A and B are shown apart, each in its own frame.
Chain A
Amino acid sequence: MSTETINQELETTKNNEVSWDGGSEPFKASYGKLMMWYFIMSDAFTFAGFLIAYGALRFSVPTWPEPDFVFQSFPGGLTGMPLIFVTLMTFVLIASSATMVRAVQEGQRENKKGVVFWLLMTILGGAIFLGCQAWEWHTLIVKEHMTLSENPFGRHIESGTYLAGDGYDIEAGDTFEAGAYYLIHKKDGEWNQIPYRTADGEIKRQELGPPAFGSLFYFITGFHGFHVLSGLILLLIIAINAASGIYVKRKNGYEMVEKVGLYWHFVDLVWVFVFLVFYLL
């Protein structure tokens, strides 16, 4: 064994000892940032569990409602605009993610004014998103009467002819094919389930849709909305802190802004999949 090899071995042993003593960062990230990543990972699994449950239940019911039939309202009493409103909501959230990146960038340049400005823009975006969600929930609860246990959105599994009108868009004598979607309205506080005659001549009434649709919608979008709300509170706290100059003293390139930024992007990331599963598929 040459002296060189021995020296190298000694060197390696020394480095290992240094590693075991701690103080080095194998992932080149601070403790806080790393833990934020692992929190995000675990939270992603929670959302994945919710969305997979949605998928399994959807697969198990032939009368599951179609998203572009359910989500077709637009503020101002407009209807028949499938997915347009939720697309706007998605834009707002993406934009607030981009302004968050700007806040992190200004932080790395130690530009206090820039950080506060872009954080406020991000808060504005998040607040608009929550407002849009509130409007969407309001429409479903007040106008369409969907609850955790009752879902008025259904689907026909056979073709037939309606025997009465519902005063909205169904008239007596209207025909429909298997697979057609319908919304049951309330009349004097009761479900107005319209009778129809099937192709075989049987007389039936419209059935309420699978209740799991309503509860999953409120739970999943509500859980996401709760994340947005928590994110807004965190953003507000760090905006106030940044304005107070506390991060200038820390001299770490506004790392706190970066960590909250990770969380905020995660909220946007989850929305990509909620949007996919609930509205697009």
Chain B
Amino acid sequence: MGHVSYEEAKKTVLKGLILLALVTVAEVAIALLGKGYIIPGFYLPRWLIYIAMIGLSIYKAYFIMGEFMHLRYEVKGLVSSILLPFILLVWAIIAFLWDGAWWGEKRLDYKTEFQKETQGVIDEAELEDTIELLD
């Protein structure tokens, strides 16, 4: 490692292991608590669960890359050349999830339109035939 003594480095590994395990337990606990598995009838708002999960996962990734993969101790240029390209993912996540939500809306619109036309229950076989025809 170079920057710390051998004994200290050994301790860092153990600390890191315990830290990552605790964060994972926290994530699962939040998921189960928030979705009403631990205390019956108790739920956390979905957005709070999502923010906590994503935040904790990014922290885990930061720790694994920084300490285990040693990126924190590399030259600045190396670190930037590896991390900066990931900014592209911010665009990709927003764009694709947005688009996904739009596909979902269209799917619902299509189903209700079809329901109006047929004045009744959607018949799956018929629906599939129609989709094939449209294709």
Contact = CB atoms under 8 A, between A and B. Distances in A.
A82 B17 CA distance: 24
B31 A101 contact: no
A26 B75 contact: yes
A272 B96 contact: no
B42 interface: no
A265 B64 contact: yes
A193 to B, nearest CB: 10
Interface string B65-88: 101110000110110011001100
B132 interface: no
A91 B97 contact: no
B96 A37 contact: no
A120 to B, nearest CB: 17
Contact of A102 (B13, B85, B101): B13
Contacts of A100: 68
A56 B107 contact: no
A202 interface: yes
Range of interface residues on A (Cβ < 8 Å): 35 or more
Interface string A239-279: 00000000000000000000000100110110011011001
A34 B121 CA distance: 60
A273 B37 contact: no
Interface residues of B, number: 53
Nearest to A98: B17
Interface stretch (A3-11, A57-65, A138-146): A57-65
B61 interface: yes
Given A48-B89, A108-B1, A101 B75 contact: no
A262 B69 contact: yes
Given A29-B75, A52-B92, A61-B107, A90 B101 contact: no
A276 B31 contact: no
A55 B78 contact: no
Interface of B: 1-2, 6, 9-10, 13-14, 16-17, 20-21, 24-25, 27-28, 31-32, 35, 37, 50, 53-54, 57, 60-61, 64-65, 67-69, 74-75, 77-78, 81-82, 85-86, 89, 92-93, 96-97, 99-104, 107-108, 121, 124
12 contacts: A27-B78, A28-B75, A44-B86, A52-B92, A57-B100, A60-B101, A61-B104, A68-B35, A91-B21, A91-B24, A108-B2, A204-B121
